[in-house]
Structure 1
């Protein structure tokens, strides 16, 4: 049975059969061709047996698939396949990797040829858009000799499971920028301090724009030029990412749900905040408080946040902001920066939750993060070619205007807001964090 499972006929063999069939048919009118057709048939049978012997006389192909320990959601993840040939002749190889069902890709094939002892590497990328367990099936390698009559199937590494976590690649990207202080390379603002905290850093020469209230008169007298005290951001401040897991976060953009955009942003932002010596925590809620991770200032704490984010899911229910307010009042006792990832499609939905948001903002620095509908923006920018398109553009502009009105209304009540496109969420969130720290609002 093992032999039969690995035994395949090459497509070229059927072409040979087609030629023989044509010879036998033509021999009906040209009898001289009939014995030649039989000779060719016997030759093909001999070559078939000889090719079978060549392919099965040794274990000629070795291969393996190298998977990372974790895949990164919404990113291109490299998968490496390494294979080599021990056949004494040039082997023609067709590689078919059985990808997880989530990718819905059924036409994967890579063809190449190998000489004896040659090792080849083949790399391809996959982009998952859902967290969870992904199972890679068989790594199938079909090998054939230069005769191309028989194909032998080799199977390696059956059913390899790899979990898909929130965007680790994105987190590492911003991690490097935070360490090297090059966050501005990605458009992250460097904001001049308006006030100052009480955490002294150094004395430096006065430059235009420095707060004159920080002039150090003793140092000025010694140096015979204006010297100012420089203060640094207060550290170890508690920061919580609060993720709404209700039905409003189920909406997909570019195949990725709003919830996953929020989760990826939370992971990258938490890493940056920890590297800047702040405490980070996590809360997720819908009808119930599903996750609560207290704010801690330890780099190892990031693994706890990562595992919690991995298990967060959406529900088709409306979220209870009253429950969230009660939970924050009971569990978060110190003044904190709260980043609330949610979405409001209508201004009426905002007004229903506004009393709870105002109550939260009385004690904490609340940042409400919600999303622009990028598909509506594309509709608005498109040319109107008929009356129906005009109606659609008008409705789209109304929804877009409502988003801006919601942002303005929150700001009128002193609540910080971020209205962002989903793909720019992480950058805009870190921007707001740096702005709040620079202005000393926390």
Structure 2
């Protein structure tokens, strides 16, 4: 049975059969071809048996699929396949990797040929758009000799499971730039400081542009030239990422749900905030408080946040903002920065939740983050060529205007806002965080 399962006929073999069939047909009119056709048939049969002997006398192919411990959601994740041949002849191989069912890809194939004892590597990428468990099936390699009559199937590494976590690659990208203080390279703005905070850092020499109110006169008298006190952002401030998991966050953009955009941004932002010595926590809510992670200032705390984010899922119900307010009032007693990821498509939906948002903003610095509908923006930017297109464009402009009115309404009640495209969420969130820290609002 092992032989039968690994035994395949090469597609070239059917061309050989077609040629023999043509010879036998021609022999009807040219009888001299008839014995030649039988001779070719016997030769093909001998080569068929010889090809089986070549492929099955040794275990000719070795292969290994290298998977990362975790896949990163919404990113291109590299997968590496190493393979080599032990055959003494040139080997033609076809690699078919059974990808997880979530990718819905059934045409994966990589063709290659190997010389005697040659080793090679083959890389490809996958882009998951849902968190969860992804099972890679068999790594199938079909080998054939230069005769290309028979193929032998080799099977390696059956059913490997890899979890897909929130975007670890995106987090590492911002992590590197935060450590090297180069966040502006990926679009993060440099925020001009208004005044300064009161956490002392060091005494340094005065340079043009320093605030003269920070001159340290004792140090100036001692060094006989102007010295100033340098202050830094206040540290160890509690910051919470609040994720709405209600039905409004199920809307997809570029194959990724709004919830996953919020989760990826929360992970990257939490890492940056921890590197800047602030406390970070997380809340996920809909009809109930699904997850609550108190704000802690430890780098290892990021693993806790990552595991909690991995298990978050959207609900099909409207979220209870009153419950969120009651939970914050009971559990978060210190003034904190609250980043609320949610979405409002109509101003009436915002006005229903506005009393709870206003109440939260009285006790904390609240930033409401909601999303532009990029598909509507594309429709608005397109040309209207008929009456129906004009109607669609007018409705799209109305919805777009409502988003801006919602932003103004929140700002009128003293609530910070971010209205962002889904793909720019992380950058705009970190920008707002840096702005609030620079302005000393918490």
Assess same fold via TM > 0.5.
yes
In structure 2, the residue matched to 1:120 is 120
> Residues 332-375 of structure 1, C-alpha deviation per residue, up to 9 Å, x if partnerless?
01111000000000111010000000000111000000000111
In structure 2, the residue matched to 1:356 is 356
* DSSP-derived class of the 1:312 partner: coil
In structure 1, the residue matched to 2:89 is 89
Structure 2 distance, partners of 1:438, 1:209, is 17
> Residues 267-314 of structure 1, C-alpha deviation per residue, up to 9 Å, x if partnerless?
000000001111100100000000000101111100000000000000
In structure 2, the residue matched to 1:71 is 71
Q: CA deviation at 1:392?
A: 1.0
Structure 1 distance, partners of 2:352, 2:253, is 26
Structure 2 distance, partners of 1:20, 1:90, is 26
In structure 1, the residue matched to 2:392 is 392
In structure 2, the residue matched to 1:415 is 415
Q: Does 1:401 align with 2:395?
A: no
Q: CA deviation at 1:35?
A: 0.8
Matches within 5 A, 1:245-284: 245-284=245-284
Matches within 5 A, 1:416-435: 416-435=416-435
Structure 2 distance, partners of 1:98, 1:118, is 24
In structure 2, the residue matched to 1:23 is 23
Number of equivalences: 442
TM-score normalized by the length of structure 1: 0.98
Q: CA deviation at 1:422?
A: 0.3
In structure 2, the residue matched to 1:322 is 322
Q: CA deviation at 1:196?
A: 2.0
In structure 2, the residue matched to 1:169 is 169
Q: CA deviation at 1:209?
A: 4.8
Structure 2 distance, partners of 1:302, 1:388, is 50
> Residues 197-225 of structure 1, C-alpha deviation per residue, up to 9 Å, x if partnerless?
22111233445554443233333445565
Structure 2 distance, partners of 1:223, 1:232, is 23
Matches within 5 A, 1:32-431: 32-207=32-207, 209-222=209-222, 226-431=226-431
* DSSP-derived class of the 1:107 partner: coil
* DSSP-derived class of the 1:190 partner: coil
Structure 1 distance, partners of 2:12, 2:58, is 23
Structure 2 distance, partners of 1:214, 1:358, is 36
What is the alpha-carbon root mean square deviation over aligned residues? Answer: 1.1
* DSSP-derived class of the 1:318 partner: coil
Q: CA deviation at 1:226?
A: 4.6
> Residues 204-259 of structure 1, C-alpha deviation per residue, up to 9 Å, x if partnerless?
34455544432333334455655432211111111000000000000000000000
Structure 1 distance, partners of 2:325, 2:211, is 38
Unaligned segments of structure 2, at least 5 residues: none
